[in-house]
């Protein structure tokens, strides 16, 4: 856990003392998890804010694209129905 949170206890220079008791290790673990959680929440909040800010401009464009796709789908369904009707007429003539 200390590697993931980049605590390291200053092992290179030996200026700090890592906790030896169970309570000290537990407190250190909780502090590391809180630090990771706070950084994660801050990062996700900033990302969410920026996505909402930029996504508003693209919403209208996306809505227009969806409408275009739906119109084309309706046209294809009509063409398919017309072709099926023509096919039935040809089958009836044969």
List, for residues 5-44, the tens digit of each pLDDT value: 555 555 555 566 677 888 988 888 898 889 889 999 999 9
- What is the model's pLDDT at position 5? 57
- What is the model's pLDDT at position 55? 65
62 versus 60: the higher-pLDDT residue is 62
Alpha-carbon torsion, ordered 70, 74, 80, 83, to 10 deg: -140
Residue 2 placed within a domain: no
83 versus 29: the higher-pLDDT residue is 83
Residue 41 placed within a domain: yes
Domain that holds residue 46: 8-93
- Give the total number of structural domains in the chain: 1
Residue 3 placed within a domain: no
- What is the model's pLDDT at position 13? 59
The pTM of this model reads 0.43
Cα 16 to Cα 1, 7, 10, 11, 30: the distances in Å are 17, 11, 6, 8, 19
């Amino acid at each position: 856990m200390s590697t993931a949170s980049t605590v390291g206890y200053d092992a290179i220079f030996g200026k700090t003392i890592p906790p030896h008791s169970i309570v000290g290790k537990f407190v250190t673990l909780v502090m590391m998890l809180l630090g990771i959680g706070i950084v994660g929440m801050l990062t996700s909040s900033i990302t969410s804010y920026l996505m909402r800010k930029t996504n508003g401009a693209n919403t209208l464009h996306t809505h227009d694209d969806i409408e275009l796709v739906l119109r084309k789908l309706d046209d294809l369904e009509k063409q398919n129905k017309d072709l099926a009707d023509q096919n039935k007429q040809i089958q009836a003539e044969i």
